[in-house]
Structures are given as structure tokens and as C-alpha cells.
Amino acid sequence: MKKLLIVEDDQIVANIYRNKFAVDGFQVEVAADGQAGMEMVRSFRPDAVIMDLMLPKMTGVELMKSIRAQEEFKNLPVIVFSNTYLSNMVQEAWKAGATKCLSKASCTPKQVIEVVRNALAANGAAAPAAAQAPAQKPAPSSMSSVAKAAATEKSDSQFQTDLRKTFVASWPTTMLSLRGLLQSMIKADTEELRARQAQELYRRIHALTGNAAVAGLIQIAHLCDALEVLLKELYEKPKSVNGSTLRTVASAIDFLGVLFKEGAASAKQEAPAANILVVDDEAISRRAVTYALEKAKLKCVSVEDANAALELLASRKFDLIFLDVDMPGMNGFELCTKVRGQPAHKKTPVVFVTSLNDFESRANSTMSGGNDFIAKPFLFIELAVKALVYVLRGQLEAR
């Protein structure tokens, strides 16, 4: 029997994977933090390891380096759960010796099992045959591989359906907790206290990312994936907390409530896909916005001229528009007013990206038809979260 170690601080996710791998014939142990994980690598001596990157006491990258520093574990297959937006940390994990990096927000238990089996095979170790659930009567020996695959698929589907029901049933309590932590963070009167509240909120959202993914709630997992990185930035750099970032966090948490209420019942869950227009005359600023959107895997088109933007909008439908305010010839407010005059874009969300943060500018953004604004300089991940909220909301309304 092959031995598997799961290093994961979220007990629910850890237990789900423990049970799935046990059914597949593995002997499984779980460690709740990086230090415990390293101790269990030495004592349990697993044939493969699955680990989250964001672990208490010792990060996944540090754990990876500790494992690879020992000669006997240099070839041990190590599968990493990563956050899509922590690209630097993922690169560090690869350099430290990760066998495979998987997105926690979009990977199912079935896919993880397949990756572990392939890693064991590549390492010269055969994975165990999946354990068979007792049947009421013997299956015919001539049962085709197609029929067996269909039975497995049905079992996985039922497993995910049951998980989703449990997840949705616990959501009112989860939402109450998230909103309470957000209010505490907003009301915190010291930088230190605000950072602590942001860290606790991060921990809750981090757990939600994994839970939503294994329950098949891909849209919820995708938004949580981005939001947890924004919260990580805010607790590590408390000076980044301002009116703009707090509004973005609040809108994301509020929309999670909407997404659960309206979207969790949908059998069809897809990652967001959208067409976004970015209008900014400054090349560096324009590139910063497009980079943030690319991080969220959202397609965008960028132009530097307001008139060019109007021509583009007349011929193409966009799901979201980011506008700079201070542009030559026609400023962002004037452009937004003209956009609202086009039938196809009367209700297209418009977000201003501007260094103007005074009351008059905010009033003008609303009066010209804008929906929101982000203050420059902005965090890349803040803009990604903002975009995801608007794109997912649009998809929900269209459905």
C-alpha cells in the first residue's frame, strides 16, 4: 500500500482528500502545518506528498526546500497546491523542487488523484489499485472499461453534489463571520489591529477557496482565490489599507453572498470569461491595468485615445470598461457620458482608475455614469478582484 502525506491547514479540505485517497487504496496521514509536515516526512516516510503553499509555521516553499535538502527525499514526488495569483511563490516552489503545481481554486479531487498516480509512475512506483466499494451483487466479469469509467464518474458526481449541499448549508454562518470580521477591520483604530483583522479575514477566505473548489463551485473559488491574495497584501503591508482597498474587499464579500444565493444552485459552474476595454493615455498606467487583468485570466483590449475607444465601442460589445480620468482632448468623465449614449453600453460597468480622490471627482464619476473607481497607485490584485466582481455579476445577471 502506497503512503501519502497531505500537508494542509484547513481540516475540511484535508479530510476530503484523505477520504478520497483512502478509497483509492492509499495509506494517508495529514499534517496541519509546515513544521509538522517535515516531521511526518521523516517518520511516516511517504511515497508522495501533497502540500498547500500557504501554511502556518513553515510555508510550502520552506517545507519543499527542507525536503529536498535531504538526500533520501530528493526524488520524492511533491504536489503543490498553489494560489493562481501568487505567481512569484509558485516560481519559488518550482525552483525548490516541486514535482507539479496545481491551482487550488480549479482542481478537483479526481484530478489530484490522477496527478499523484502519474507522479508515482514517473518515479518508478506503481500506484495502488483503487479500492472497490462493496456491491449488492457481483459485477459481471465482462464489464467494459467504459462502463467502469461511467460508474466512477457517477460516484464522483454524487460525492461533489453531497459536498456542495453541506457547503451551501453552512454558508449563512460563514457569511455572518466574514461580515463581522470586515466591520472589525474597517473600525480598527490602529494599524496593528487592522492588520490582525485582515489576517484573520484572509485565513477564512483562504479556507473558502479550497472548500468551494472541491465542492465544484468554481466561480466562488475563483473570486476567493483573488480576494485572499488582496487580504494577504493588506495584512503584510497595513499602509496599503485605504478607502479604495476597503471598498474593494467589502464589495467582494457582499458579492460572495449574492453568488452563493443566486449562483450556488447552478449545476453549470465556469471560470469567468469576458471582454474588457482599458482606456488610458499613459503607457505605463495602461500596462499596469492590463497586467492586473491578465493575472485574473481576463481578456482585455487597451487603447490610449478616447476617440479610438468610442470607435471600438461602436463595433464591439464589452463586459467591463476601465477609464482613466485625466486624458487629453476628452477626459474620462466626458467619454463615459458618450459611452452611455451607445445602446449596447448603456449598462456596461465603467470603473474609473484615477489619482483624483477628492469629493468632486467622485461626484463627477457618478454623474457621468460611472459605477466605481480605483485610486492610483493601486495594487494589481485589487484591480483584479474589482474586475472579477463585475464580470461575475454580469454573468449572473445574464444567466
Mean pLDDT on 247-273: 77
Say how far apart CA 34 and CA 55 lie, in whole Å.
6
The pLDDT value recorded for residue 23 is 87
| Average pLDDT for the chain | 84
What are the CA-CA distances from residue 363 to residues 166, 250, 371 (Å)? 44, 20, 11
Q: Kindly report the CATH number that applies to the domain delimited by 3-133.
A: 3.40.50.2300
pTM higher than 0.85 for the full model?
Answer: no
Mean pLDDT on 220-248: 91
What lies within 8 Å, CB to CB, of 74 at 6+ separation is 68, 97
Q: Residue ranges per domain, the chain?
A: 3-133, 165-263, 275-398
Who wins on pLDDT, 130 or 206? Answer: 206
Residue 359 has pLDDT above 80, yes or no: no
Mean pLDDT on 32-55: 94
Say how far apart CA 255 and CA 393 lie, in whole Å.
8
CB atoms within 10 A of CB 72: 10
pLDDT tens-place string over residues 150-193: 444 555 566 667 777 777 788 889 999 999 999 999 999 888 89
The pLDDT value recorded for residue 133 is 41
What are the CA-CA distances from residue 12 to residues 52, 115, 361 (Å)? 13, 21, 46
Q: Are strands 320-324 and 275-279 parallel, antiparallel or unpaired?
A: parallel
The answer to whether 165-263 and 275-398 have equal CATH topology is no
Q: Are strands 275-279 and 299-303 parallel, antiparallel or unpaired?
A: parallel
| Grid cell in block for residue 348 | 456596461
pLDDT tens-place string over residues 78-98: 999 888 788 788 889 999 999
Residue 211 has pLDDT above 50, yes or no: yes
The pLDDT value recorded for residue 144 is 53
Beta-ladder partners of 4: 28, 48
Residue 36 has pLDDT above 90, yes or no: yes
Lowest-pLDDT range of 96-110, 143-157, 251-265 = 143-157
Mean pLDDT on 297-315: 91
Q: Kindly report the CATH number that applies to the domain delimited by 165-263.
A: 1.20.120.160
Asked if 260 and 175 count as a contact pair (C-beta separation under 8 A), the reply is yes
CA atoms within 13 A on the CB side of 190: 3
Using pLDDT thresholds of 50, 70 and 90, give the confidence band for residue 244: confident
Q: Kindly report the CATH number that applies to the domain delimited by 275-398.
A: 3.40.50.2300
